[in-house]
Amino acid sequence: MYAMYMMMQYLTTVWKLGFTPAAAILNVFWGLVGTLPLLLQFLVDTVMGNYRMLFISSISYSAGFCFLTMSTPQVLGKATGTCSDDEPECIGYAQQVLFYTSLAFIVVGVCGHLICWTPFMAEQVNKEEVIKEERHSCNSVSYLTVNIITTVAVIGLPIIHPWKFRFGIPVVFSLVANLLFLTGSCSYKYVRPQGSPLTTFVRVLVASTSKFGYSAPKDANELYENRNTEIKLVPHTRSLRCLDKAAIIVSSTTIEEQQNDRWKLCTVTEVEETKTIIRTIPVWLTFIFCGIVSSIGFTYFIRQLNHLSPKVGRLSVPSTLLLWFYNQAKSKSNELYVKFTNSLDESGSRKFAPAIGVGLSMIFAILCCISAAIVENKRLDVVQKHGLIDKPNATIPMTMFWLLPQFLLLAALDGIFYSSAVCFFKDQFPTSTKKYLPSFISSVFGVGILSSVFSVYIVGKISEKGGKNPNWFQHDLNKSRLDKYYWTLAWLSAINLVIFIVVAIFYRYNESELQKLETPEFAEAEDPSEDDSNRCCC
């Protein structure tokens, strides 16, 4: 994925797009990477299963990078004899179609692997005999492998100048990985789809809407509940009474007929589980702004990075080194949060750890924006001092390590937010839907990244003040005022933090059942035959 991290540079140097439309394209890409897993998880549980989704996503990932490589002028342009230089004049309609098609395929490939890889591997291994014995060695090897791959990517990709090779190398590796994956197809264990609990959520909404003209009874005992089941029943609550209509027994037909039509009659437990999810929406909405702040990391930060000097004294280092620092800091911040949570008392203050983690990640979002605003203001002063305003491609005599603090603060935001958000809602979600909790959080974060496109447009329009002032977002970075945009995000993030604190205080919590947290690792994948909904996903 380091090739995708460099996409901002490709769009601004080869396509010669302004940094704002280039950032919009990438934000749509990363936003879809965040939101699509929820839909794909539903398809996996209802139709496809983990193996089929892995197979399709693997092919999609390889095809995506193949199309991306073909879209470069040095491949398609040279093959057609039209143009083979990395210039905007060489980007024709065919290249654009291949490029956008490739992004769609890569999104499917990434999301499919995110949701299916760990569950699929859990289906194949014997947890008791294999995982417990090889946990330490597996973790060590995995950690070492990831570090080797990222280090090679950081050092190697910037050295490779033709974009056809930068995009082509992932094609080779993904094809080899696909072949290795397919060689074991005959020996894999296959688990059929068991259905999705999200269907219940939709059924309650449909059933309550179909009984719009009915009034919910005051006595909850008059509502339908299936007591001949092993499922734990949820007691009725007085909130969101409109959804109680889904459990109304209509007198015009027999109860047996209504029980057979599950889209017209739901149990009280199903209604209450739906209410539980709906009551979490106010908290979800405060998470969206974290996605907006996170979106600037691989768009505007990267564009700033490409304008600064990569030299440390006389030594020139790869600009992607800051991305390596980002990934390392993200991993370490998550580990520190897990250790902090486990250090709290089991029966006392530990229950507040998830809320503290979410609030802390929002504080890091504020600090990240403030740091970015200060550094960008400093960069613009250097640009003004050296007369580089009208030289958008010139390297600014300012070391790229000025950007290191904002990358590290962004890493702390991303590293702490996901784990703390999962644990925040772990005890609030119905047992049947806890499997979808990571996908829910990823989707909300993805909505925030998609919303950043609209935030840039709205802030830009407001900054013009009816055409009296120049827009903060110009075609060239040196003529833009990203520092003012960062300050805007900083105080909006502060307001969002206050709103989260208020909502978190008044939110009605279920009794906490947090267990000891563990850092994410393949070795902790649950056996698919067991219910892992009671484990914290951190």
**What's the pLDDT tens digit per position in 305-344?**
888 888 877 777 877 788 888 988 998 998 888 888 777 6
Q: Is 468 or 483 the better-scoring residue by pLDDT?
A: 483
210, 250, 259, 396 from 213: Cα distances, Å: 8, 12, 20, 68
For the chain, percent of residues with pLDDT exceeding 70: 81
Once rounded to an integer, what is the mean pLDDT over residues 242-270? 76
Average pLDDT over residues 216-240: 74
**Measuring CA to CA, how many Å separate 471 from each of 305, 374, 459?**
22, 20, 9
Domains along the chain with CATH numbers: 1-194 (1.20.1250.20), 198-277 (no CATH), 280-310+359-511 (1.20.1250)
Q: How confident is the model at residue 496 (pLDDT cuts 50, 70, 90)?
A: very high
Tokens of 235: 């007691």
Q: Look at residue 410 and tell me whether its pLDDT is greater than 80.
A: yes
Residue 84 pLDDT grade (very low, low, confident, very high; cuts 50, 70, 90): low
Give pLDDT, residue 253.
64
pLDDT for res 364: 95
Confidence class for position 392, pLDDT limits 50, 70, 90:
confident
Contact (CB, 8 A) for 244 and 223: yes
The residue that leads in pLDDT, 489 or 137, is 489
CA 534/CA 432 separation, integer angstroms: 10
Asked if pLDDT for residue 426 goes beyond 90, the answer is no
Which residue, 200, 285, 274, is CA-closest to 239?
274
DSSP, collapsed to helix, strand or coil, labels residue 404 as helix
Token pair listed for 71? 């879209």
- Indicate if the pLDDT at residue 158 is higher than 70: no
Cβ pair 441, 421 in contact under 8 A:
yes
Residue predicted with more confidence, 194 or 112 = 112
Q: Residue 526: its pLDDT value, please?
A: 37
Confidence of residue 180 (pLDDT cuts 50, 70, 90): confident
The DSSP 8-state label assigned to residue 395 in this structure reads P
Choose between 259 and 33: higher pLDDT: 33
Please name the amino acid found at residue 38. L
Take residue 286 and report the two structure tokens written for it. Answer: 């405060």
Helices (H), 125-162: 132-159
pLDDT given at position 532: 39
Residue of 365, 386, 349 whose CA lies nearest to 296: 365
What average pLDDT does the segment 28-38 reach? Answer: 92
Taking alpha carbons only, the member of 157, 469, 457, 209 closest to residue 323 is 157
* Sequence-ordered alpha helix ranges (H) in 93-234: 93-124, 132-159, 163-183, 198-210
Dihedral sign of CA atoms 343, 345, 349, 355 in order:
positive
Report the range of poorest mean pLDDT among 28-37, 292-301, 424-433.
424-433
Average pLDDT score over the chain: 79
Task: Extract the tokens encoding 39.
Answer: 């839909």
Tell me the average pLDDT across 159-182: 80
* Segment holding 325, helix H or strand E: helix 321-343
Q: CA nearest 434: which of 196, 249, 231?
A: 196
Report the distance separating Cα 140 and Cα 135, nearest Å: 9
Cα separation, 1 vs 163, whole angstroms:
15
